[in-house]
Structure 1
Amino acid sequence: MSDPVIISAVRTPIGTAKHSLRDLTVEQLAGPVVAAAVRRTGLDAATVHDVVLGNCLGPGGNVARVSALAAGLPDTVPGLTVDRQCASGLAAIDLSAQLVRSGAGLVVAGGVESASTAPWRFWPPVGDAEPVRYERAPFAPTAADDLDMGLSNDLLAAEAGVTRARQDAYAARSHALAVAAQQRGAFADELLTVAGVDRDDRPRAGLTPERLARLRPAFREGGTVTAGNSCGISDGAAAVAVVPAETQQRLGVPGLRILATATSGVSPTRPGVGLVPATRLALQRAGLTLDQVDVIELNEAFAGQVLACCDELELDPDRVCREGGALALGHPWGASGAVLMVRLFTQLVTRGQGRHGLAAIAAGGGMGVAAVVERIP
């Protein structure tokens, strides 16, 4: 059994839905990053064992297989599409690690989402009624448990005692950090230009807590979650190349050893807290504490949700997403977990800013996925 090691990582820019990447379908987003992830390894594309991609709202038909073909990989390379909602991209990387531990060679894993081109669906008519637009997937079997993400995370923030002021300050921080990172070229090594787009759409300069405080609650009367302290609906793709440790050593390249992963379930009414038990379990399996982790990337679906999770983990929020997170960059659902891993690769491997990293993300339905990695020479 060999340790899985990530030796390349790449992502598209993240486009706000209906903006810069609006015309690109899922395979047009994922194909280039799959190809780039393989190309950056220096390995022959014919050695790819599998392509595993997360996706939530695509056209079906096995997005991973279609993307592998769009990437120009040999038709002998299969594909597997994973749907663990927002955690799909990180779940795909988890599965790739298991494949490598089971004897696979090069596996490309990640995720993709094109909210802009996702097909419209309709419930069939009942009797003489007209078809009804299918707005979203159910997250739980009963209406009482099937809350919208915004409402459930607004309630989570209230129960955790996370104030509106803290949420707006954290959201403003995310944008400020992302803008500063853009300006100094911090994302350059991980970004792949697609359709002429070479930078993330969403980060905004000058977005202060005072400006955010003017926005009205978006999901309930008297709530604290607004459009300003929530992530944006987005398009994008990300992929990593995972190989056995022996291959990484033979190539003589640095990488991220996947030390441990974990997936957990929580109440479907409070899905945003799902990353907490997953984080704890992944750290336990890795034999580490949060104090020993150098770079922490949590998916910022909602500022209140991230802060509630940090409070429960006794984690200083200033240690999280130090170059901005999904609040500023956007949240391309099926890709977001993979984006976290790409961010870890850039900071730990490309720049050498520490040894250990943590990626964690919560998902609709009440789940969380986490992964702990270690930089190796």
Structure 2
Amino acid sequence: MNLIIRKAKIVDPKSPFHNKTVDVKITQGIIEEIGTSLLNIDTHQEFQHDGLHLSQGWFDTSVSLGEPGFEDRETIANGLEVAAKSGFAGIALQPNSNPIIDNQSQVHFVKQKSANSATELFPIGALTKNSEGKDLAELFDMKNAGAIAFGDYGKNIANANLLKIGLQYTQDFDGLVIAFAEEENIKGNGVANEGVVSTRLGLKGIPSLAEELMVARNLFLLEYTGGKLHIPTISTAKSVALIKEAKAKGLHVTCSVAVHHLVLTDEKLDGFDTRYKVSPPLRTEADRKALIDGVLDNTIDCITSDHNPMDIEHKKMEFDLAKNGTIGLESAFSALLTILPLDKTIEKLTSGKTILNIENHIIKEKNNASFSLFQIDNDWTFTKEHILSKSKNSAFLGQNMKGKAIGIYNQGKLVLA
């Protein structure tokens, strides 16, 4: 699709057009020309929108879609359409389908299913067979098939030696290990952050220690083995401090935080609403502020929606029994703008590509056109009408929002919300 985007303010510090309002002419997926009042002599289609802003395409480092096996929660086709309309030009797909993505045929399957979508899909392969934490999966075969990293979604690797071997083995092909941090024995039967709120509500608590102990252990292993480690969706102040210290030592560690941990706290649990049951659990206001500080000082490398659709049968039940997870693609950008500056929001929604060794497309002439389109000024409230996913388990219903994703231009296609 050949296109001229009119009067868009560029938000890309690496672009010579950063903070300038320009027209962008795209021919066969390549930025042909950037300037003001560009002539349309080639019968390009045109797009214009009030308050239009344009950045490099956003990338989400943690998205679950269900297919194969849980299509009732979400399909790959609809999930990628949701991502596009939410402003995401690329997503990293978690391996928690049925069957688990733990071999090259499963990697080929999800890549094939996503081949014609505007939003690009990059599979994460399971680190262990069937994500059971017992034996390493076929990591090198999956890497050759297109897997960009290896991790067992939402599962701690209890066997320290197995994680050690994984970190050593992946160095042979510059692989990235993702290690979720939560000590299962300390977590026990906990369902909410251990603290004042869980005590008041009579909910079994999950201490911050359950996360921090595993973060510390995994960083010790990384220091011993070398290699590359990514710690996803950290949620406590101490985890931020531990990772900051590890980076100061020169360890090759990165980390992410979920949008809901930056915006919401365990005070939301007062109504026992299972939409707020997530893993790791929502923490305290002090943790939330520490996470924001970690984003601002770049201890935290990227922000994810941690989009995890759940069918109503697994959410509309007692809090103790309900499954963890919230959808988050639709709300991610607008929720972040309520707590972070625009430039920092865009930076943390695009930096995941660098972590996963995916090419960034700076907005300049002759480069590939991969854009997120958005506006920043309108204030609104997130309601059920704004949910595009098949599953409706959003923790952001009723939440005040700022700005809005308009869509993307990627893979030669324009998709609008």
- Same fold, TM exceeding 0.5? no
Q: Which has the larger radius of gyration?
A: 2
TM-score (norm 1): 0.31
Q: When you count helix as a share of all residues, which structure comes out higher?
A: 1
